[in-house]
Structure 1
Amino acid sequence: MAPVPDDPSRPISEEDRDTAVRRLQDAYSKGQISHEELDDLLQQTLTAETHGDLGTALAALPEEKPDTSTIAAFGGRIRRRGPWRVPRKLKVDSAFGRVHLDLSRAVIEHPVVDIELNLATGRAKITVPRDAVVDLDGLQTVWKDSLYKPRRPSRPGGPKIRVSGTMGFGRLKIRHARR
């Protein structure tokens, strides 16, 4: 779950509530809270209406360690494809080269995946699952615009892929997998 915003009276979304429930279930499975605590905190979470309410329910949990990985190369090619595990946050740094991330057969365990691209030159291609939702609002391009045609998810519940960072003198192309 994201940190509590500056305005704790702001209403929560269903995504916020789902993330909080998963976090409580994870804490219980790791033995960090008892069954009784889980029941009480789930009740608070399911009835929470604001970020302040949700923050109160989750305050007793240990701090979440972000699942972050970095892939870096000065030159050459960065490629991930096939059945690979996608971390919650993926940072990709390349000065000169090409990047190809194929998430179509990857293991995606998180409802939201953040990919931070920091590319000086070269191009990047990302293939996302067919039912993924892609958000490019955090991406800055210097030379060329990104190529992406959003599609309507074929079934609900696909992952949300948020792409951010900076593209220098290259182009980002994103496409949905065909199968």
Structure 2
Amino acid sequence: MPEPDPNVRLSNAEREALIARLQTATEEGRLDLHEFAERSREVYEARTYADVERLLTDLPAEDRALAVPRAPAASGDMVLEPSYTHLKRQGAWIVPGLIRVNPKYSRVTLDFRTAEFTTREVEIAVNLEYAGLKVILPKGAHAIDDGVILEGGQVINRAFTPGGGQRIRLTGRVLYSRLKVRYERRFLWWRW
């Protein structure tokens, strides 16, 4: 695949592909968590390929994000398996039809407010062990949590009223963990 022009601006999908490559390098032990956080921040601040090229020069050629296809496959499953950390997906990210969340002693936040949905219904299959999952839904969406098995855990669903928007179906197991689904909170100009 030819190298992209360094003066071409990055798209949101390409930024997400770069972050995925950095995460893979972190999981392989090539980057520590501090380096991953710093490089991820720089990817989100970058405007062109030239701005991110230096972030990948010390990684093997197969891990370089500049060689990935321009549009990531939206139909593939997403698997999130953090350990002893806080993982947050927010902004304009592409939501597949199935998201598997398997944290261990971690917190995960899935913010769907400005995400791009690929299907009308999204399944979030959870296996929470001593962990927390917070799901923030956009206006009009709703969540169904009748497929969750509680084993000393807690499910708080404040987004259960069906609307005309997306449907989030929660399935899986919650072991001494907390799963919370809510809408965006607002006060004056603040949003969280």
Please say whether Structure 1 and Structure 2 have the same fold, judged by a TM-score greater than 0.5. Answer: yes
Unaligned runs of 5+ in 1: 1-64
How far the C-alpha of 1:120 sits from its partner, in A, is 0.6
2:159–2:181 contact (8 Å) kept in structure 1: no
Answering whether residue 96 of structure 2 is matched by residue 87 of structure 1, we say: yes
Q: Name the CA distance, whole Å, in 2 between partners of 1:85 and 1:104.
A: 12
Q: Identify the match of residue 134 of structure 1 among 115, 138, 143.
A: 143
- Equivalent pairs, count: 113
The aligned counterpart of 1:175 is 182
Q: Name the CA distance, whole Å, in 2 between partners of 1:166 and 1:103.
A: 22
1:130–1:178 contact (8 Å) kept in structure 2: no
Provide the secondary structure at the position in 2 that maps to 1:73.
coil
Using a 3 Å threshold, how does the CA distance of structure 1 residues 152 and 136 change in structure 2: closer, same or farther?
A: closer
The aligned counterpart of 2:170 is 163
How far the C-alpha of 1:108 sits from its partner, in A, is 0.9
Which residue identity lines up with residue 166 of structure 2 in the other structure? P
CA RMSD between the two structures: 2.0
Q: Name the CA distance, whole Å, in 2 between partners of 1:84 and 1:148.
A: 23
Unaligned runs of 5+ in 2: 1-73, 187-192
TM-score, reference length from structure 1: 0.57
Q: Name the CA distance, whole Å, in 1 between partners of 2:159 and 2:106.
A: 26
Which residue identity lines up with residue 175 of structure 2 in the other structure? G
Flag the structure with larger Rg: 1
2:144–2:160 contact (8 Å) kept in structure 1: no
Give the alignment of 1:44-59 within 5 angstroms.
none
Report which stretch shifted further, 136-145 or 101-110: 136-145
How far the C-alpha of 1:169 sits from its partner, in A, is 1.0
| Structure 1 stretches of at least 4 aligned residues deviating more than 6 Å after TM superposition | none
The aligned counterpart of 1:147 is 156
Query: Percent identity, aligned pairs only?
Result: 27
1:97–1:123 contact (8 Å) kept in structure 2: yes
2:141–2:159 contact (8 Å) kept in structure 1: no
TM-score, reference length from structure 2: 0.54
Q: Name the CA distance, whole Å, in 2 between partners of 1:74 and 1:135.
A: 26
